[in-house]
Chains A and B, each alone.
Chain A
Amino acid sequence: DIQMTQSPSSLSASVGDRVTITCRASQDINNYLAWVQQKPGKGPKSLIYAASTLQSGVPSRFSGSGSGTDFTLTISSLQPEDFATYYCQQYHSHPQTFGRGTKVEI
């Protein structure tokens, strides 16, 4: 199985900060990489797929980049509603696998 390693596992930030989360795959996954956001007690929400394509309705302050094994999720100006846990997911190979998550805290 492809292992997905996220860093950091948690971070503290303030409203307005630029935040970057990284995700590394254990092998080349081309651009088959998605990011989801999860708030406590809620189901995940799709943010980005194909490494950099924003899901419909997702604010433009979210962006994704990368290809191959190294990927980045960037929030350009953190808003109060963005405090949540973020997971990357590879869907290049079966079984699809997730990173362990990055918790963004105030």
Chain B
Amino acid sequence: EVQLLESGGGLVQPGGSLRLSCAASGFTFRHFAMSWVRQAPGKGLEWVATISGSDGRIYYTDSVKGRFTIFRDNSEDTVYLQMSSLRAEDTAVYFCAKRGDPNHCSGPTCYFDYWGQGTLLTVSS
């Protein structure tokens, strides 16, 4: 059974930093790209970042470029999101998501076949 378990959320002051983690199990982690998707309170879903399985390709949404870094440890089956220069508008639940069947993807973009339960980041003074 695929499981994705996020952790690391919390309350951070504007301009601060935080690292989120997502521990994966139930599949061959290094074979799949992983993403972070966020949801601001009462709002819809917004893709944030994606990292490929093992060849280092990384993509970000424009609003987090230069502030967020996605990376992974395939020996620990964990993907991370290092966030810095945090802003109030980064406040959201952050979900970890596994990329779907590569045969049905389109280049760097794909659907997500499994999602975690999310971890809440609040940026406030």
Contacts and interface: CB of A to CB of B under 8 A. Distances in A.
A49 B100 contact: yes
Interface of B: 4, 44-47, 59, 61-62, 95, 97, 100-101, 104-118
Given A89-B45, A97-B47, A101-B44, A34 B109 contact: no
Contact of B95 (A44, A89, A93, A100): A44
B117 A93 contact: no
Nearest to A50: B104
Contacts, number: 71
A27 interface: no
Interface residues of A, number: 25
Given A34-B111, A49-B101, A43 B95 contact: yes
Interface in A6-46: 32, 34, 36, 42-46
Given A44-B112, A87-B44, A93-B109, 15 more contacts: A32-B109, A34-B112, A36-B115, A44-B45, A44-B115, A46-B111, A49-B100, A92-B106, A92-B109, A94-B107, A98-B44, A98-B45, A98-B46, A99-B44, A101-B45
Contacts of B109: 32, 91-96
A84 to B, nearest CB: 13
Interface in A43-63: 43-46, 49-50, 53, 55
Contacts of B97: 44
A52 to B, nearest CB: 11
Nearest to A90: B109
